[in-house]
Structure 1
Amino acid sequence: MKKLMLFTTGGTIASLEGENGLTPKMEAEDLLRYLPELEQYCRIDTKSLMNFDSTNIQPEYWIQMAKAIYEHYNDYDGFVITHGTDTMAYTSAALSYMLQDLSKPVVITGSQIPIAFKKTDAKRNISDAIRFACEEIGGVYVVFDGRVIQGTRAIKLRTKSYDAFESINYPYVASINTDEIHYYNHVNKLKNKEPKLDTSLCTDVSLVKLFPGIKPEFFDSMKNLYKGIVIESYGSGGIPFHERNILEKLNELSDCGISIVITTQCLEEGEEMDIYEVGRKVNQDVIIRSKNMNTEAIVPKLMWVLGKTQDPQKVKELMETPIAKDITL
């Protein structure tokens, strides 16, 4: 039988009604009591790392999760992390960068309804996550509503429905039915590789969503606060330069040594800054292109890269290098 470690971090899946609404209160052992049948598939040890609503998850907690997996890596065949859904995609991407060359699965799951409720998606999601964590596969994955998503490609699209997560700009890895796992594409099965742990993070990163009328002066306040800025622009990734000249302000920030990533507010197909004048006017020798990365991956990747170097050209090179299948263009 495979031997797995179940880490819990809180989230809806572990929540109970409190004085001010749902709040995480259940520990790891409590969750497994609702699923005694899992004992026939594998041995499961448990450890509660934290107990937070994922709205309260911070980058420092990603480090704690990554270190916990690395410290227990040689003792288990796979790992499952239960997590709140609101920031799950950020966590799965962050772990994909901090833990590389994995030859074992790290599976993140959660639920839209607490496991203690009569009607819940938690039992299925945990069961599916446990099943997938027994596979001969390496990497970080999100398992939710019977679908397996690459850790750098998950986005939460729905606030209530069971199918809360989608895989954006990348195929689903697999689907999980009652008795089988169906893979949609070839999956590399890493063997005899030592995992790499790199938890260097610089959290001086901001995310700005452009909108018509945003004041250029807004960006002046960022010069002494951040070392990296992610700009969610429109469509193919152009930057306004007429009347309210945002392009000029981004050039000023770049001149100050701040690394700037341009992405698009459109969920699918990524940026393509070579098509329009508003894109071609951007200095692409300096500005970082996100290609078809998800924002939920761009933010932790930028923190991770800035934790290693703050040389703008080296940051650009690392950010534009595919890692954990985060870029496919």
Structure 2
Amino acid sequence: MRVLLIHTGGTLGMAPQGDHASLAPGPSLDLILEQVPELRELADLKLVVAFNQDSSTNEPTDILRLATLVRAESADCEGVVIVHGTDTMAFTSAMLGFLLADLGKPVVLTGSQRPLAYVRSDARSNLVDAVTLATRGVAEVGICFGDQWLRGVAADKVSVHRYQAFASPNLPPLAELGLSIQIHPHAGAFPRRVPPGLGQTFASELSVYAPFPGMAWNLPPDGTRGLLIEAYGAGNLPMGRADLQALLVHCRDHHIPAVITSQCLWGGADLETYDLGRQALDLGALPGGHHTRWAALAKLGLALGAGLSPEDVLQAFRTPWAGEPL
């Protein structure tokens, strides 16, 4: 079985650099495979380096190119593994989850909390598990980390030091990896409803509001095309504030989608639960439901980049494109 192994950088392949031994992008993919030769026992590996950088420097254009690369290079492969840094892995997995929903084969993102070059590291086991999952034929885009495989459009990074660094709060794991690999029935079982025409451009002109008590609700910068508001609890906001009302009216009048999600990891925003949420809804806000911040931003940027109308953007947050919880 042939697996496409793509390297993009991240902690897994980093090495100490400079007088202070700070971690920086390190060895090539070939050198990584020299340290984990057993990967070749699991699959016939096709090696490609997309780029080699800290994931905190990734841009949406990098991810669009990565999606194009996966389609082009995986035609003769049964699965794909992408080595990626943890800092923006959830955003990349959300974008790829939408862009590659119709690929029809496993796309497994993985990385590590400690470099492969360290004696005590999670890199080796994550790589082995990711390549193993890529041979199982489950058509999903997901993150393999620790002992779980998580749907990419539902995942978030929840720890900077635990080996179980990612969680999927509103969707059970696709698979659990222990003495055996248990793939759950919902893995790969979701309708593909991604609109045509996505992926040529990404609208990065987005503003994110993370409320705190007393925050000033300033209008977004000129040129802003979309807003994400991470509200309290089930979607509550201080709707008595004139500046917040003015912000939502501005967005409505200028056809700028204002999507409301929750600051909470578990659960989501239901703007009909409380009167404050209903007031935001009446001023044109869009309910983001259970979308993670990364899934919401990926969906918003891809939809606007493809030129979808305001009504189409509203429908996008009412319809699961690739198995994301609503």
Tell me, yes or no, whether TM beats 0.5. Answer: yes
Which piece of structure 1 moves more, 10-19 or 238-247?
A: 238-247
Q: Could you tell me which residue of structure 2 aligns to residue 292 of structure 1? A: 290
| Structural mapping, 1:173-322, within 5 Å | 173-178=174-179, 180-188=180-188, 198-200=198-200, 201-216=202-217, 218-219=218-219, 222-243=220-241, 245-284=243-282, 286-322=284-320
Q: Could you tell me which residue of structure 2 aligns to residue 94 of structure 1? A: 95
| Structural mapping, 1:105-144, within 5 Å | 105-144=106-145
Q: Percent identity?
A: 31
Whether the 8 Å CA contact 1:309–1:315 is kept in 2: the answer is no
- Say how many residue pairs are matched: 318
TM-fit CA distance, 1:100: 2.2
Q: Could you tell me which residue of structure 2 aligns to residue 77 of structure 1? A: 78
TM-fit CA distance, 1:285: 7.9
Q: How far does the alpha carbon of each residue in 1:79-98 deviate from its partner, in whole angstroms, 9 at most, with x for none? A: 00000001000000000111
| Structural mapping, 1:31-42, within 5 Å | 31-42=32-43
Which piece of structure 1 moves more, 3-12 or 309-318?
A: 309-318
TM-fit CA distance, 1:189: 6.6
TM-fit CA distance, 1:307: 1.3
Q: Which secondary structure state, in structure 2, belongs to the residue aligned with residue 97 of structure 1?
A: helix
Q: Which secondary structure state, in structure 2, belongs to the residue aligned with residue 52 of structure 1?
A: coil
Amino acid at match of 1:3: R
**C-alpha distance in 2 between matches for 1:134 and 1:206:** 39
**Structure 1 residues 56 and 135: CA distance shift in structure 2, 3 A:** same
TM-fit CA distance, 1:229: 0.6
1:23 aligns with 2:21: no
Amino acid at match of 1:140: V
TM-fit CA distance, 1:292: 0.8
TM-fit CA distance, 1:23: 0.5
**C-alpha distance in 2 between matches for 1:127 and 1:164:** 17
1:10 aligns with 2:9: yes
Whether the 8 Å CA contact 1:286–1:316 is kept in 2: the answer is no
Cα RMSD over matched residues?
1.8
Amino acid at match of 1:37: E
Q: Could you tell me which residue of structure 2 aligns to residue 154 of structure 1? A: 155
Instruction: Considering fraction of residues, name the structure with more strand.
Output: 1
Which piece of structure 1 moves more, 18-27 or 280-289?
A: 280-289
Which piece of structure 1 moves more, 8-17 or 93-102?
A: 93-102
**Unpaired segments of 5 or more residues in structure 2?**
191-195
TM-fit CA distance, 1:284: 4.9
TM-fit CA distance, 1:4: 0.6
Q: Could you tell me which residue of structure 1 aligns to residue 193 of structure 2? A: none
Q: Could you tell me which residue of structure 2 aligns to residue 49 of structure 1? A: 50
Whether the 8 Å CA contact 2:198–2:305 is kept in 1: the answer is no
The TM-score with structure 1 as length reference comes to 0.92
Q: Which secondary structure state, in structure 2, belongs to the residue aligned with residue 51 of structure 1?
A: coil
**C-alpha distance in 2 between matches for 1:55 and 1:36:** 29
**Unpaired segments of 5 or more residues in structure 1?**
191-195
**C-alpha distance in 2 between matches for 1:16 and 1:112:** 13
The TM-score with structure 2 as length reference comes to 0.93
Q: How far does the alpha carbon of each residue in 1:248-296 deviate from its partner, in whole angstroms, 9 at most, with x for none? A: 3212122111111001101111112112221111235832211111111
Q: Which secondary structure state, in structure 2, belongs to the residue aligned with residue 271 of structure 1?
A: coil
TM-fit CA distance, 1:213: 1.2
**C-alpha distance in 2 between matches for 1:87 and 1:284:** 34
Amino acid at match of 2:207: S
Whether the 8 Å CA contact 1:235–1:265 is kept in 2: the answer is yes
Q: Which secondary structure state, in structure 1, belongs to the residue aligned with residue 81 of structure 2?
A: strand
Q: Which secondary structure state, in structure 1, belongs to the residue aligned with residue 299 of structure 2?
A: helix
